[in-house]
Structure 1
Amino acid sequence: MSTAEHENGAVRETPDRYGAFPRLTPEQLEDLTAHGERRRTAEGEVLYREGEPFREFLAILSGTVEILHDQGGPDERTVAVHGPGRFLGELGLLEGQAAFNTAVVREAGEILAVPVERQRALVGSDPVLGDLILRAYLGRRYLLIGLGAGFRILGSCYSRDTLRLREFAARNRLPHRWVDLERDKEAEALLRRFAIRPEETPVVLWQGERLLRNPSNAELARLIGLPAPSPENERCDVMVVGAGPAGLAAAVYGASDGLTTVTVDAVATGGQAATSSRIENYLGFPSGISGGELIERAVLQAHKFGARLMVPAEVSTLTPQDDEYVVTFTDGSRARAGAVVLASGVRYRRLEVPGIDRLEGISVYYAATVHEAGLCRADPVAVVGGGNSAGQAALFLAQHASGVHLLVRGGDLNADMSRYLVDQVEQHPKIEVLLHTEVRGVAGEEKLESLTVEDNASNERRELQAAALFVFIGARPRTEWLGGVLALDEKGFVLTGGDARAVADANRWASLGRDPMLLETTLPGVFAAGDVRSGSVKRVASATGEGAMAIRLVHEHRERRGNLVSADSEGRRPVAGGSVSSR
């Protein structure tokens, strides 16, 4: 049944409490009219349907429209009701995804319809209108995630494939709901309804009838309309591996400079930054910005300039060939690139505690997003780590949990955490900071119930009640596939610039007449940016700066400029440094 509110026989408009349902001004509607057409609507008319691609941006001129989840199904419910001046759609409209709800006319009137491609261009060219629409769409996306709208993942909490699908959905900020085969009463009814055997799970259900049995990440991506990877026999000017801040910056600057730019990522756009609840020291955002919003803005910007983003697409090998590079993907497909920017980032280190494996993805997490926070409800939780990621997670989780234990191995919170975060953490009434503390054991059958922690100064142990554990204890680079291809440091990070020059094959570089440039690796035309690079600062701002700088160096490589080497009178080579024109 629909849960729409009625007043005096009419559908009541949903109030705009969170900025997700703003109203366009008459001037903005007038400007939009030049790009679309006015159209009469009829009561009961479906303007767009869940699971189908958006074809138009719709603004309401008169009448009302109800937004429904699972229309006609047993779980039908009203998401919102819009009246004159409001506009329809959500983030999927701008990113080419399918609709996650259905729009039905409740009171006949008139709408303004603008083709999607034209609307995407307007969002990129009109900063005021673009900001209004983007903020509303981001708010609506998080509203849908909170409601558990979208597709359902039916699977066991003990299944690795269930964990994989849940992680993919959460990292891509896709509205979905997990139905636990072990605990949810709904699970048995769904198994009978769709004649699913338990061993066939996990399955993905959408629109009451579409069913995928243990789909790959790529199959799930295609279901909801993420751009399908198609790198076979493709040739681009620059291939960017990784779609975190560094990779997206390289995509934006590469495409805006006129280079054919393809950016690929094995899991999702955003990297670790997308999991940050709030970034408060990023230049230009004095009140802070969530990692998700920052990344969505970057994705739209990359699309605006014509960059191609392919997710999921995992690279397996990099091979030099005829002054270019062949990039091979795990599905066997290949692509050629004139230059490559490695921006694959890092993954958080796992906590080595007996028995923790069985709880990972159930109540032990390596990210703190809206999805994980929603699972905590009002229970106490614990965060392990002493860096900025741990501090941001603790502050975010304190909004949802009854209390947060922040467990820090060292004796000083200032050692690895920014001062502004230390102040907020120490002053928060729901956060307890435990220094010199390490996790020694976990307890709980189906989910985490408590932790055994030890004071590493006194060796005293105690038990802490915690329904979830969030781990932020450092990271390791995603460079396993680069071993033997180019030089890495002892921790697996990519060597660049002077460090790369020290170990590079002199014969390979002699023909170029130069040494590796600042962000260049031991392979000419292959650059590294962001967290994956040895010696990087591990900050979002520096990652975006390096991504932009890498494109500048790509140009110099293409034009055979940059760090040109000439022998002095004694035959000595100068130290590589600035760029010199070869003209």
Structure 2
Amino acid sequence: MTLPAPDLVETPDPHGAFPRLSREQIDRLSAAGERRAVRPGEVLYAQGKPAADWYVVLRGKVAIQQRDGDDARTLRVHGPGRFLGELGLLEGQPSFFTAVAAEPGEVLVIPAGELKWLVFGDPVFGDLVLHAYFLRRALVIGSGDGLRIVGSCFSPDTRRLLEFVARNRLPYRLDDLDQDRGAEALLRRLGVPAEETPVVVLPGAGVLRNPGNAEVASAVGLRPERQPVGVRDVLVVGAGPGGLAAVVYAASEGLATAAFDAVASGGQAGTTSRIENYLGFPSGISGAELAERSVIQAAKFGVPVAVPGEARTLVPRDGLYAVGFDDGTEIVTRTVIIASGARYRRLPVPGLEHLEGTCVHYAATSQEARQCRADPVAVVGGGNSAGQAAVFLAETSPVVHLLVRGGALAADMSRYLVDRVGNHPRVRVHLHTEVREVVEDGKAMAGVEVEDNRTRVRDRLAARALFVFVGAAPHTRWLSGHIALDEDGFVLTGADVGAFAGAGISRAPMPLETSSPGVFAVGDVRHGSVKRVASAVGEGAMAVRFVHEHLARER
């Protein structure tokens, strides 16, 4: 085992990711834990395992390392007053790193379970820890540490894994068999033949060979080991802003609640680089941070969000509902809140599929930005998601081409974003423009061929990545035949249910209630919904109020 050098210099903290606790804060925290001496080389927590305790450095230094067998690489060093850990500590995930004492010292040790209550119970301390942990996760994502995915970017399974870990905000690095010389050497060292790729190398040297998303989720702590038993009061299907709001309000009011999402918590909002018009966040908040805060809040009330868990069936059963999931799980519940959102629409351009996850993206977060740093990129779309992505990507990309099919940004984009896009020196807006072809250079993307939809004149723009934001289709196939849908597949609710022939409801539906009594819909999946985060959150809270009314009526 490689020991850290005793003369390591403490890592600077220019962005607030490694704040120092005051003496008063440490004294208050001491009542919840114990002070303990540490010796050089002592491991406080190891990568690949959930950390059982939370540490504050009182004397000496602690090194944060990434270990590969007997080799260790020191990433950061913390001195007195700093606390250890990362976002996964609050969510029960295995650690991506090892913390080891670099010199004789003393630490304050607090059980991880106790830390959660300290975070929830003290708003000032809680915000300090949460903000630092979000920044640390962003730093890890930007550094490429964490999981390693070894495979070909042309493999559908590799692209599936890349999308899954990115949507779940897990730090990773792709070792591309088609471009990275060291990828094959890594496979040989792991003893994995090429036909068994892609593989996911976990912190702690665990290797998953072409795993399903559920297997990865279980390995990194995203999926609870045990599913809820017994009849639930409410089952929330989907964990976007509307679904997460419903979970928090239902659980906090004592309802027996279960929650699932097919891909990742946060929904489409979770892929947004910055939400600037959400009430209470004047400087904006990233979709990832909003999602993580909501997941932690749901866990505070005892409801973890199970990921991945795709609903496949909804069947009435003796006055209850049975919802079946893709892994065979069945949840029996008194009410259902459908928040399954919508799936991204693809561009009708040939050859995009094999570039998805590497050059073609449907989200613009720090994960994707890291892949195309310093390269020109193209963004397709004229709504808020496209505008937010263009501004965010322009922070690192020299040129961002915003390709808009219509003739004005203001038609579908908020005024504040129109101004930001129009005033940004590195964003070039192309109106009346549609993508016709992706230009490849060997095994990478070199540009896009676009066409003016008025003149039919074509042009070629240099771009190493393409970001697509052209709307979404509702995820409601599993509801067909049981719940009233409009012609586009969105769920009808309230007065819109009307005289639906298959309605099983004998009274006027409550707002947000579907054609089946006790089944509600919120957010983007609902016909006529307002495509705003605040609206979805409000609908999630409202749906819980109607759940109470339905349960009271049934009793």
Please say if residues 317 and 481 of structure 1, whose CA atoms lie closer than 8 Å, have aligned partners that are also in contact. yes
**TM-score normalised by L of structure 1:** 0.92
Q: Are positions 1:173 and 2:169 aligned together?
A: yes
Whether the 8 Å CA contact 1:366–1:470 is kept in 2: the answer is yes
Among candidates 358, 361, 365, match of residue 369 of structure 1: 365
SS of corresponding position for 2:39: coil
How many angstroms does 1:2 deviate by? 8.1
* Secondary structure class of the residue paired with 1:178: strand
Q: Show CA shifts across 1:106-135 (max 9, x none).
A: 121111111111110111111000000001
Residue 416 in structure 1 maps to residue 409 in structure 2: no
Match of 1:33 in 2: 30
The CA distance in 1 between the partners of 2:35 and 2:223, in whole Å, is: 30
Match of 2:80 among 61, 77, 84: 84
Task: Name structure 1 gaps, 5 residues minimum.
Answer: 562-581
Report the TM-score, using the length of structure 2 for normalisation.
0.97
Assess, with a 3 A threshold, how the Cα gap between structure 1 residues 410 and 280 changes in structure 2: closer, same or farther: same
- How much does 1:354 deviate? 2.1
| Structure 1 residue 467, shift from structure 2 partner | 0.4
Mapping 1:256-267, distance limit 5 Å: 256-267=252-263
- Following superposition of structure 1 onto structure 2, how do residues 503-542 of structure 1 map, counting pairs within 5 Å? 503=500, 505=502, 508-510=504-506, 514-542=507-535
Paired with 2:94 and 2:496, the residues of 1 have a C-alpha distance of: 46
Q: How far off its partner does 1:399 sit?
A: 1.1
Question: Counterpart in 1 of 2:214?
Answer: 218
More deviation in 455-464 or 251-260?
455-464
Indicate yes or no: 2:331 matched with 1:335: yes
Instruction: Work out whether residues 13 and 82 of structure 1, in 8 Å CA contact, stay in contact via their aligned partners in 2.
Output: yes
Maintained 8 Å contact 2:69/2:205 = no
Greater displacement, 407-416 / 345-354: 345-354
Aligned-CA RMSD value = 1.7
Deviations 1:321-345 (A, max 9, x none): 1111001111222110110000011
Pairs within 5 Å for 1:115-130: 115-130=111-126
The residue that corresponds to 1:22 in the other structure is 19
Name 2:188's counterpart in structure 1: 192
- Give 1:321's aligned residue: 317
The CA distance in 2 between the partners of 1:456 and 1:28, in whole Å, is 62
Distance 1:142 1:461, change over 3 A: same
* Aligned match of 1:135: 131
What stretches of structure 2 of length at least 5 have no aligned partner? none
Cα distance between partner residues in 1 of 2:268 and 2:183: 32
User: What letter matches 2:402 in structure 1?
Assistant: L
Out of 431, 442, 455, the position equivalent to 2:438 is 442
SS of structure 2 residue aligned to 1:426: helix
How far apart, in 1, do the equivalents of 2:128 and 2:471 lie?
37
Show the counterpart of 1:295: 291
Change (3 A) 1:189 1:301: same
Question: Contact 1:234–1:334 at 8 Å: present in 2 too?
Answer: no
Give the length in aligned residue pairs.
554
Asked if 1:10 corresponds to 2:7, the answer is yes
C-alpha contact 1:235 1:336 (8 A) present in aligned 2: yes
The answer to whether the 8 Å contact 2:320/2:335 transfers is: yes
Deviation at 1:208, TM superposition (A): 6.1
Aligned to 1:62: 59
Aligned counterparts of 1:517 and 1:192: Cα–Cα separation in 2? 61
In the alignment, the residues of structure 2 paired with residue 230 and residue 479 of structure 1 have an alpha-carbon distance, to the nearest angstrom, of 26
Say if 2:467 is the partner of 1:478. Answer: no
Match of 1:305 in 2: 301
Q: Give the match's secondary structure for 1:527.
A: strand
Indicate if the aligned counterparts of 1:3 and 1:78 stay in contact, CA closer than 8 A.
no
Q: Does structure 2 conserve the Cα–Cα contact (< 8 Å) formed by 1:232 and 1:334?
A: no
- Counterpart of 1:245, as a letter, is P
Aligned partners of 1:156 and 1:182 also within 8 Å: yes
Q: What CA deviation, in whole Å up to 9, does each residue of 1:514-573 have, x standing for no partner?
A: 321000000000000001000000100000000010000000000018xxxxxxxxxxxx
Contact 1:152–1:179 (8 Å) recurs in 2:
yes
Tell me the CA shift for residue 233 of structure 1. 5.1
